[in-house]
Amino acid sequence: MDCQPTSELLDGYLDGELDLVRGLEVEHHLRDCVACARIHARRLALRNELESARLYHAAPSTLETRIRAALRRVDMAPPAERWIEWRKFALVSGIAAALLITSTLAMRWMTPAHDDLLAHEVVANHVRSLLADHLSDVASSDQHTVKPWFNGLLDFSPWVSDLGDEGFPLVGGRLDYLDGRSVAALVYKRRKHVINLFVWPASDGDSNTKAGRIKGFHSLHWTAQGMNWWAISDLNANELDDFGQLVRARAAKANAP
């Protein structure tokens, strides 16, 4: 696919509106074309910024003074005029409050939470890795092979460990793209079930593990050791939870002083 058709399809690709064939064509082009990949990254970053923007706007410091002055004028007016002023004041205040509530609710309804959007990205990347037969850029169960492979490709060093002794063997790793940046995707298996574990630096502190289910897949995500962790699989929820606890414990032990 050339740059021109790719640029025309980028918005649909970002919104998950393309069919599988078109989506894969755009994804393959983005891997090979630096210019289009930069445009995609800028648009994704802009979308994330708009979605995370705070909807709260502080009232100006002069608002209280203006309201008190208006109330004083109403109190000082003759009884007949006072009634008219009160009605005008109540009408204007009611309309302003209704507009504020309506606009706030509408914006909250229209703007999905960042974690919800990220969960859809995680699922989409997981499905693409299965359908495109692109589970691994480096296929190995040796953590000393997989971990060094990421050197120079990422601006961080991901935790990597083979968990075969606990029934979750490492099968490889690949470079992936989530939340507007390049991330490490570590691939594990449980019998015939594939588990994608996405890892990248976190801006927030540690958090508890949160479980979810979307489009038939179970997911786990948490932050620890300065990293975001997302695990996704069609594995049953209990076994995926076992995997998450194991990863969290091993990673914490590896980073212990």
> What are the CA-CA distances from residue 216 to residues 36, 112, 125, 213, 233 (Å)?
32, 20, 14, 7, 9
Q: How many CB atoms lie within 10 A of CB 206?
A: 13
Q: What is the CATH number of domain 114-254?
A: 3.30.200.100
This prediction has a pTM of: 0.59
Q: Supply angle C-alpha 139, 244, 233, rounded to 5.
A: 60
- In whole angstroms, give the CA distance from residue 71 to residue 66: 9
**Residue-level pLDDT at 92:** 60
**Residue-level pLDDT at 9:** 84
Place of tokens 């859809």: 120
* Domain coordinates in residue numbering, the chain: 3-52, 63-110, 114-254
Q: Supply angle C-alpha 236, 239, 240, rounded to 5.
A: 80
Per run of 10 residues, the mean pLDDT along the chain (length 257 residues) is 80 80 81 79 68 55 74 60 57 63 53 69 87 81 94 92 96 90 94 95 89 90 95 95 96 84
**Residue-level pLDDT at 111:** 40
